[in-house]
Amino acid sequence: MSVKTVFIADDDGAVRETLKQLFENTDFQVVGESANGLETVEACRALRPHLVLMDIQMPLLDGIQAARVLVEEELAHCVVMLTFFDGPEYLEKAIKAGASGYLTKPFQAEKILPTLELCLAQSRTRHELGRSYASLNRRLEQRDLVDQAKLCLMEERGLTEQEAYSAIRDLSRRKKLSMAQVSHYLLKRYGGDP
C-alpha cells in the first residue's frame, strides 16, 4: 500500500506529538507540523500533503480560514478538522470551508485512521469526478464548435448537415487535425464566431 502524507496543525505541542506517534507504523507519513494556520498554509504550498489534520482554533490564521485557503488552492487532497468544539456551528463552518472530516478532542485513536482513509477515498472520488467533468465539458465545447462550423458550411456552400459533417471530418483526416481545430479554422475563414 502506498504511503499517504500528513501535515499536522495544532497549537498544542502535546497533541501534535500524540498524533505523530499515532501515525508510526502505519501507511501515513507525517511530513510536517505547525502551531498556527499561517505556517500551515505556507508549508502546504511547498509540501502538498495528501491530508492536513488541523485544529480549528490556532493563532495568526484559524483552522477554518486556513482550511478554506488549502481547499481553494488545492494544497492538499483533503483537510480534516480536529477540535474541542463539537457544536453544529463549528461543523457548518468546517463544511463551508471545504473540510472533508471533523474529529473532536479528546480523540479516540482507533477512529482517526479510518476517518482519514475515508476522507482520502472521497477525495480521490471527487478528483476523478472533476476530471470527468472537465473532459465532458471540453468535449461539449468541441461539439458546439463543430456544430457551428457545420451550420456555417451549410449556409456558405448549401450543404446538408450530413455533407457539412462529412466535409469537416474528411478535412480533419487529411490535415491530421482534430475536428475542433478544423471547425475553428472554418469559422474564422467564413466569418463565423469561433
> Which cell numbers in the block locate residue 69?
485557503
Query: 33-80: per-residue pLDDT in tens?
Result: 999 999 999 999 999 999 999 988 888 888 889 999 998 898 888 898
What is the structure's pLDDT at 34? 93
Q: Is 190 exposed, middle or buried (0-12, 13-18, 19+ CB in 10 A)?
A: middle
- Strand order through the sheet with 51-55: 28-34, 4-9, 51-55, 78-83, 101-104
What is the structure's pLDDT at 35? 92
Sole residue written with cell 471547425: 183
The model's confidence at residue 193, banded by pLDDT at 50, 70 and 90, is low
What is the structure's pLDDT at 5? 92
What is the structure's pLDDT at 42? 93
Query: 102-142: per-residue pLDDT in tens?
Result: 787 877 777 788 888 888 888 777 777 777 777 788 888 88
> Which cell numbers in the block locate residue 162?
450530413
SS3 28: strand
Element (H, E) at 70: helix 63-72
